[in-house]
Amino acid sequence: MRKTTGQVDTDIFAAIAHPVRRQILDTLLQGDMTVTALSAPFDVSRSAISQHLGILMDSGLVSMEKRGREHYYQLRPDNLNEIARWIGQYEHFWQQKLDALGDYLDEMAAQDEQEKS
């Protein structure tokens, strides 16, 4: 069942796990696009792309707007913040490691200095 509320009901990490879905998102960076236009670069059927778009809709990463008989898909990247925040933890961790390395190197330099005297 597809969502009727504004709520996201599929895991956003799983949504970006598939390379085709990531490439769809990358393409949408250039602007809104229809399904057939999006399907063109891929060697899978338009139906498959449509299903991928359904998953991206469920995860809230894209939205759709009907314009005549064409469905224009639009990037809605604010939900990627969840991933950015998750990764942020690790950048913090990485920074701590660098700081520790820096302290270590400083300490070694201080020891070298002391040995010289």
Partner DNA sequence: AGTATACGTGAGCTATTGCTAACGTGTCAA
Partner DNA sequence: TTGACACGTTAGCAATAGCTCACGTATACT
Q: Which residues bind DNA (CB under 7 A)?
A: 2, 14, 17-18, 20, 34-37, 43-48, 50-55, 64, 68-71
CB of 44 to DNA, least distance (A): 4
* Nearer Cβ to a second copy (34/82): 82
* Nearer Cβ to a second copy (31/68): 31
In sequence order, the 6+-apart residues with CB closer than 8 A to the CB of 3 are 9, 57, 58
Candidate residues 14, 40, 108, 109; the one interacting with a second copy per rule CB under 8 A: 14
DSSP3 helix / strand / coil % (the chain, rounded to 5): 60, 10, 25
Q: Which does 84 bind (CB under 5 to 8 A by kind): DNA, a second copy, none?
A: a second copy
* Nearer Cβ to a second copy (46/103): 103
